[in-house]
Amino acid sequence: VAEKMGVSRLSKDQVSAIASSLDADIEDLCARPLGGSPVPYVWLDATYVKCRRGGRVASTAVVTAIGCDAGGWRRVLGVDVVDTESYDSWLAFLRAIRSRGAAGVRLVVSDAHPGLVRALGEVFQGAAWQRCAVHLMRDCMREAGSWQLRRRVGRIVSSVFRAGDAATAVAMYHAACEMLEGCCPRAARVLEEAEPDALAYLDFPPSHWKRLRTNNVQERANREIKRRSRVVQVFPSESSLLRLVGAVMCDQAETWSGSRYFSERKMAEMHDAAFRMGAAGEHNWAELEKAARKMIESSLELADSVEAA
């Protein structure tokens, strides 16, 4: 890139100056005070990159936190490089975010890493935890033996999260557990145990569900980190890794500044109690679950027909 700009070589001092300028931008993004403004939604995840530490190459965890503020804008809340994705690492990371003023967190979306879930309960007390539906589906599929059974398990679980209202989603979840019990009992147990956390998104406005039930916003950021880090292969130090990841997240923050993740109208729905009546109230659960089972079976038949065609 430098050669195309007419620069034949860079001195050590010039490289240091460029790195210092970049470090200042990353510091401004990742260490700035958050001002105590409400951040109702937070997505957390980690991805692993090869880095040289202590004279050896090791897989190093890059942890990131992305939030959505009350205005519907996505914000980078934090980026860090840690030795391992453990309870202690997550606890320190989340405490740093809270100390900078992250407040009003109502829902945190992540995978089911035990250390992360435990740290969340201590740092953001009172916030609900949404277990990523995609990760849950993969966990259920992992319990199946053959690839045909894995595919069937995945189709059964994925159909649950396409329900249009809260009561139907609960009924389909229970129907899916019963269907899995007949073909893959271990997957059924995983799904049953995850119910409260897998359906946490139902306590929020329906217009938010699609973006709350998965960790897709983090997955896209991780793919961009992997795309950039793949060129380097092995980073010479943790500071160089943090510099590149921070630069990627600076780019993401600039991109996100051009459009809201949720419109102002949708964010205003959080203060409307009407959406909370979906799964509450009187329902004929026997009939709902019967209908839910038919919907899942129809979905499976359609998938089989498409595959056969």
Per residue in 135-168, pLDDT (tens digit) is 999 999 999 988 999 999 999 999 999 888 899 9
Per residue in 260-277, pLDDT (tens digit) is 999 999 999 988 765 554
pLDDT higher for 87 or 24?
Answer: 87
- Write out the two tokens for 197: 């956390």
pLDDT higher for 107 or 233?
Answer: 107
Judged against a pLDDT cut of 70, whether residue 291 lies above it is answered with yes
At 271 the pLDDT is 80
At 93 the pLDDT is 94
CA dihedral (186, 188, 194, 198) positive or negative: positive
Which ranges constitute the DSSP H helices of the chain? 12-30, 87-99, 114-123, 133-142, 147-160, 166-183, 185-193, 195-198, 209-212, 216-232, 238-256, 264-268, 285-308
HSE, side-chain direction, 13 A CA sphere, residue 93: 29
278, 165 contact by CB (below 8 A): yes
Kindly state the percentage of the chain with pLDDT values over 90. 61
Q: What is the mean pLDDT of residues 10-32?
A: 75
Kindly state the percentage of the chain with pLDDT values over 70. 95
Nearest CA-CA partner of 74 in 252, 204, 270, 268: 252
Judged against a pLDDT cut of 60, whether residue 278 lies above it is answered with no
Question: Cα separations (Å) of 90 from 84, 119, 232?
Answer: 9, 6, 26
Judged against a pLDDT cut of 60, whether residue 219 lies above it is answered with yes
Nearest CA-CA partner of 136 in 209, 70, 214: 214
Dist. CA 101–CA 175, nearest whole Å? 42
Q: What is the mean pLDDT of residues 1-15?
A: 74
At 35 the pLDDT is 79
Indicate the pLDDT class of residue 280, thresholds 50, 70 and 90.
low
Question: Cα separations (Å) of 231 from 27, 50, 215, 234?
Answer: 24, 12, 25, 9
Per residue in 45-77, pLDDT (tens digit) is 999 999 998 788 988 999 999 999 999 999 999
At 9 the pLDDT is 76
Whole-number average pLDDT of the chain: 89
Task: Note the pTM of the prediction, 2 decimals.
Answer: 0.89
Q: Provide the b/e sequence for 137-163 (b: ≥16 CB within 10 Å).
A: bebbbebbeeeeebebbbbbbbbbbeb
